[in-house]
């Protein structure tokens, strides 16, 4: 489970804001599965390291 997730659905894709505006994850369906785009916010947030975030997102998309 990811901590503090806000979900926004827009134009066929889903955006997840993880942590207090720490990460923006965009999930877009494609013919081969999902396209996952991850962006870190400009602010510093050490509550969720990137490797853990990638693992949690990968588990959700398979």
pLDDT at 9: 92
pLDDT per residue of the chain (62 residues) written in tens, 0 to 9: 566 788 889 888 988 888 776 788 888 988 888 888 888 876 655 566 777 777 777 776 65
Distance CA 57, CA 2 (A): 9
Whether this prediction's pTM lies above 0.95 is answered by: no
Distance CA 41, CA 38 (A): 10
pLDDT at 45: 58
Distances (CA, A) of 14 to 33, 44, 48, 53, 62: 14, 24, 20, 16, 16
């Amino acid at each position: 489970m990811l901590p503090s997730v806000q979900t926004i659905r827009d134009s066929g894709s889903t955006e997840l804001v993880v942590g207090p505006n720490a990460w923006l994850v965009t999930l877009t369906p494609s013919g081969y599965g999902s396209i996952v785009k991850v962006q870190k916010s400009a602010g510093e947030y050490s509550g969720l390291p990137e490797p853990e975030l990638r693992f949690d997102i990968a588990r959700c998309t398979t």
